[in-house]
Amino acid sequence: MTVRVMFAGGGTGGHLYPGLAIARALVKQAPEIQPFFVGALRGIERDVLPKTEFEHLLLDLHPIYRQKPWRSWRTVRGLGSAWRALAREHRAHPSATVVGTGGYASGAALAFALSHRIPIQLQEQNSIPGITTRFFARYARAVYLGYPEAKTKLHPGAHTELFDSGNPIEPPPAPRPSRAAAREAWGFPSTGGAVVLAFGGSQGARPLNDAIASLLEAELPAGVRMIWGTGQGSYERYARLESEMVRVRPYLSPIQDAYAAADLALTRAGALTVAELCAWGIPSVLVPLPTAAADHQRANARALEAAGAAVSLEQSTLSAATLGASLHALLNAPGKLASMAESASARARPDAAERIASWILTTGQLKSLGA
C-alpha cells in the first residue's frame, strides 16, 4: 500500500530543497511513502523538479505584490486555477498529509488541505518565520524549526507540536575527507596558511563579489588562499582574478569539496547556507542580504553571532578595507577561530532530514496507513 505525502513550497531554493531532503529521508525510512510536490510555474522548482525522481504539479501561483498591488489580480486568478487543479489531484490521489516548506508556492496547497481535513505540517527555515508559517502554524499538527529562536515568533494551536529540528540539508559524508586532501584537490598546499570559502549563492551577490574583487586587487592577507563561487551570471566579470592563490568558479557543485577545504567562510546568511556551515563546523563572516523578506537574513546572522559561531558584517559597510580587516582579525586569532568552529558544530543538525521524516511518520500517523 502506498501513502502519498504532498510537499508544498518553493519559489526559491531555500523553500524547495528542504522538502526534497525530507522526501528522500521519508522514502529511505518507509519505501511505501510516495512524495508528491506542488510548486509554482514561475519558481525555481520549474527547473529543479523535472530532474528529480518525484512526481510534481506546477501551478500558476504568484506572490502578493506588496510594492505593486495592481498586479495582485494575478495572485487571485492563480489561486482559483490552483484550487481546481488541487481538487483534481486530490480526487485521483488523496494525500495523507501535506508538508509546507514555505514561500508563496505553499499557501494554496495548505489552505486546500485544511478545507479537506488533511493534516498539515510545516518546516520553517529561518529564525524569523515567514508569513505562510506564521499564518498556518495555529492549524498545523507539527512545525519543524530550523532555528529554535523562531519559536518566540509563532502562535501555535492547542494541538500543534514545535520541534527544534534544524534545517534539512545533505549532511557531510562519513568519514569526512581530510582538510589536507581537500586542499590538495584544489591545488593548494596541504598545510599552512588558511583557505577562505566565499560565495553568495547560485546567482552570486554583486556587492559581496565586488568587495572580494577589490580585496583581491589590493592583495589577500598573507598566507590566505580563496575558493570563490561568483554565481553563474557573474563569472565572466571576475574570472580574470583566478591565480595561484585564488580559485574562481561560476558555481560550486558539489560544494562539499569546498567545505572540506575551508577554514573560514564568507557568505550570505541564508538559512540553508548557515545550516551547512554549522554541519561542517566552519566559522563564518556573514553578510546578510538587506532586502530579504522580514529581514530574516540579518536575524539568522545575529543568531549565529550571538552563539559565537559567526561574525556579522553589514552590506552597507562592505568594502575591501572592512572585509580585509574582518578576515585578518579572525585568521590571526586561531584560538577564536577554533572556538567559533566549535560553536558552529554545536548548532549543527546534520541529521535534521532524517529526524523530521521520523516525526512526520509518527506525528502524521502515517504508519497506521501502511508506511
**Residue 23: which pLDDT band, with cuts at 50, 70 and 90?**
very high
In the chain, at which residue ranges do the beta strands (DSSP E only) sit?
Answer: 3-9, 33-40, 55-59, 97-102, 120-124, 142-145, 161-164, 194-199, 224-229, 246-249, 264-267, 284-286, 310-312
Residue 82 has a pLDDT of 85
CATH architecture assigned to 179-346: 3-Layer(aba) Sandwich (3.40)
Please check the confidence at residue 72 and state whether its pLDDT lies above 70: no
User: pLDDT tens, 105-140?
Assistant: 899 999 999 999 999 999 999 988 999 999 999 999
Residue 107's SS3 state is: helix
Residue 328 DSSP class: H
pLDDT, mean over the chain: 91
CATH architecture assigned to 3-171+351-369: 3-Layer(aba) Sandwich (3.40)
**Residue 21: which pLDDT band, with cuts at 50, 70 and 90?**
very high
Residue 232 has a pLDDT of 80
User: What cell does 151 get?
Assistant: 519559536
User: pLDDT tens, 154-190?
Assistant: 999 999 999 999 999 988 998 999 999 999 999 999 9
Please check the confidence at residue 369 and state whether its pLDDT lies above 60: no
Asked if 205 contacts 238 with a C-beta cutoff of 8 angstroms, the reply is no
State the sign of the Cα–Cα–Cα–Cα dihedral 255, 261, 265, 271.
Answer: positive
Spatial distance between the Cα atoms of 162 and 145, rounded to a whole number of angstroms: 7
**Cβ atoms within 10 A of the Cβ of 70, count?**
7
Contacts made by residues 246-249, CB under 8 angstroms, sequence distance 24+: 246/216, 246/220, 247/186, 247/187
**Residue 73: which pLDDT band, with cuts at 50, 70 and 90?**
low
Spatial distance between the Cα atoms of 164 and 272, rounded to a whole number of angstroms: 15
Asked if 97 contacts 6 with a C-beta cutoff of 8 angstroms, the reply is yes
Residue 254 has a pLDDT of 81
* DSSP assignment of 179-195: HHHHHHHTTS-SSSSEE
Spatial distance between the Cα atoms of 371 and 363, rounded to a whole number of angstroms: 13
User: What cell does 56 get?
Assistant: 510534481
Residue 71 has a pLDDT of 64
Per-residue pLDDT, averaged over 332-344, amounts to 96
User: pLDDT tens, 196-227?
Assistant: 999 986 666 899 999 999 999 988 888 999 99
Residue 78 has a pLDDT of 62
Q: Do domains 3-171+351-369 and 179-346 have the same CATH topology?
A: yes
Residue 253 has a pLDDT of 76
Residue 65 has a pLDDT of 55
Residue 207 has a pLDDT of 92
Q: Which of 295, 252, 293, 260 is nearest to 277 (CA)?
A: 260
Task: Report phi then psi at 256, rounded to 5.
Answer: -55, -35
**Neighbouring-strand partners of residue 192:** none
> pTM of the prediction?
0.83
Q: What percent of the chain has pLDDT over 90?
A: 75
Spatial distance between the Cα atoms of 78 and 156, rounded to a whole number of angstroms: 28
Domain limits, the chain: 3-171+351-369, 179-346
Please check the confidence at residue 344 and state whether its pLDDT lies above 80: yes
Per-residue pLDDT, averaged over 92-108, amounts to 93
